[in-house]
Amino acid sequence: MSIRLGCIADDYTGASDLANMLRQNGLRTVQTIGVPRPSLELPDVDAVVVSLKSRSIAADRAVTLSLEAETWLRDRGAEHVLFKICSTFDSTDEGNIGPVIDALRERAGGATVLVNPAFPETGRSVFEGYLFVNGVPLHESPLKDHPLNPMRDSNLVRVLGRQSATPVALIPFAVVEQGVEAVREALAKARTAGAGAAIADAVAARHLDVLGQAALSGPVSAGASGLGAGLARALVARDGPSGPAQPSDATRPRPTSGRAAILAGSCSTATRQQIAVAETSGIACLRLDVARMLDSGIDQVVSDALDWARARIELGPVLIASSDHPDAVKAMQSSHGGLAVGHVVEQALAAIAEGLVAAGVDQLVIAGGETSGAVVDRLGLEAFLVGEEIAPGVPVLRVTGAQHADLSMALKSGNFGGEQFFTRALSMLG
């Protein structure tokens, strides 16, 4: 297999968001979970998105995993590697975006890395280096309350600068508006000035086209799926399309047991609203008792949740959620520690997913990036074929590989999807 574009995603939902975007813009794409084992059979594709769970781990570990993925992708012919980060730039002053960009740049010969997390379809835009979420500066958006990486600074030049070994430049709106050559020149100037990375502005799809073409002149870029779309369009414009849009197994409906479940660990405003709507539309919902898990361990909570689900699963889909209001999350974190709470809840939801699949569930919707990572790892999944789009950033995923190849899934980033997302996803997974 020889690929045209290699991608490393720092979480699993972000990876499927990117895979969806590449597919929609003409690249046959597969999403792998981690670096694939040598004997894993993958279809003939133009792009591979290697999903890591590296967003919220120690920076040195994130670097090691990303470099392993980069080696695998380059060995398969990738001329350009996109490091897929969150469109809301989820990170802390310790990383992991800066350290991974530094390592990928060094590996690829030192050219300044173009960085842009804009995703206009979901309301993320960058202007004068400031990130806006649905028209609100990042630090005023719901991301200011993120359980793992509260985003309190909207200026990405500053945010990335605090995480990086070298200075960070800005390629402002006025330059991007001038087109591809102007952006290439700005990148060259930034390199001469010693900047290892440059935040580029983009507020519309046409800017992502410019950035995609400019980025393709270098070996590495970093951004969200908007930049992925720009790169895909640039590749197709340069080299032409290559065969059918996607391996047919990705879109062919599969026989299903009819058993379906939704698991939500995201505490985002969007997910909490989607849960509320699901509850009123007749889906059986169970709220997990997080305090009980923290006080007495997860086993009894998991076992009770599975008993509850098994009693209902033949009648229709079930929804199990730990999601709570930011005030409740903060209170829990201040008494038990943020990372510890997150880990315990993720492990509980992963164990519930395992039990549900053992009970015959073959349609599974997961809300939240870390939550999705925990579930996918627990199930031992190896790769996904990318199906139809359910909502911007969320495709139908058909499992391929040795484990659970009958499973269809949706991995939803916390903030993605409209109010009816869960019912829409279930109607498309079958």
Ligand X SMILES: Nc1ncnc2c1ncn2[C@@H]1O[C@H](COP(=O)(O)OP(=O)(O)OP(=O)(O)O)[C@@H](O)[C@H]1O
Place of tokens 């699949």: 357
User: Taking Cα atoms as reference points, which of 148, 82, 196, 180 lies closest to residue 330?
Assistant: 148
Kindly state whether residue 10 participates in binding ligand X, applying the rule CB under 6 A.
no
Using the rule CB under 6 A, give the single segment among 92-100, 114-122, 185-193, 413-421 that binds ligand X: 413-421
Nearest-CB residue for ligand LCNOYBR7:
14
User: Taking Cα atoms as reference points, which of 47, 3, 4, 2 lies closest to residue 24?
Assistant: 47
The minimum distance between CB 242 and ligand X, in angstroms, equals 31
13 versus 51: smaller Cβ distance to ligand X:
13
Place of tokens 């959620």: 321
Q: Which of residues 230-289 bind ligand LCNOYBR7 (CB under 6 A)?
A: none
Tokens of 232: 């895909």
User: How many angstroms separate the CA atoms of 195 and 193, rounded?
Assistant: 6
Residue 429 and residue 363 in contact, taking contact as beta carbons nearer than 8 Å = yes
The entry of ligand X, ligand LCNOYBR7, none that residue 224 binds, CB within 5 to 8 Å by partner kind = ligand LCNOYBR7
Number of C-beta neighbours around residue 79 at 10 A: 13
In three state form, how does the secondary structure of 228-253 look?
Answer: HHHHHHHHHHHHCCCCCCCCHHHCCC
102 versus 370: smaller Cβ distance to ligand LCNOYBR7:
370
Kindly state whether residue 346 participates in binding ligand LCNOYBR7, applying the rule CB under 6 A.
no
Using the rule CB under 6 A, give the single segment among 11-19, 281-289, 332-340, 350-358 that binds ligand LCNOYBR7: 11-19
Place of tokens 């020889």: 2
Interaxial angle between packed helices 205-216 and 225-239, expressed in degrees from 0 to 180 and rounded to the nearest 10: 60
The minimum distance between CB 87 and ligand LCNOYBR7, in angstroms, equals 3
Q: Which of residues 78-97 bind ligand LCNOYBR7 (CB under 6 A)?
A: 86-88
Place of tokens 């060995």: 75
Per rule CB under 6 A, count of chain residues that contact ligand X: 25
The minimum distance between CB 18 and ligand LCNOYBR7, in angstroms, equals 7
Among 17, 201, 209, 346, binds ligand LCNOYBR7 (CB under 6 A): 17
Residue 423 and residue 279 in contact, taking contact as beta carbons nearer than 8 Å = no
What is the edge-to-edge ordering of all strands in the sheet holding 136-137?
Answer: 124-127, 130-133, 136-137
Q: Which of residues 391-410 bind ligand LCNOYBR7 (CB under 6 A)?
A: 393
96 preceded by a cis bond (ω within 30 of 0): yes
| Residues at the contact surface with ligand LCNOYBR7, assessed by CB under 6 A | 11, 13-14, 17, 86-88, 119, 224-225, 369, 393, 413
Binding site for ligand X (CB under 6 A): 13, 146-148, 265-268, 290, 322-324, 329, 332, 341-342, 345-346, 368-371, 413-415
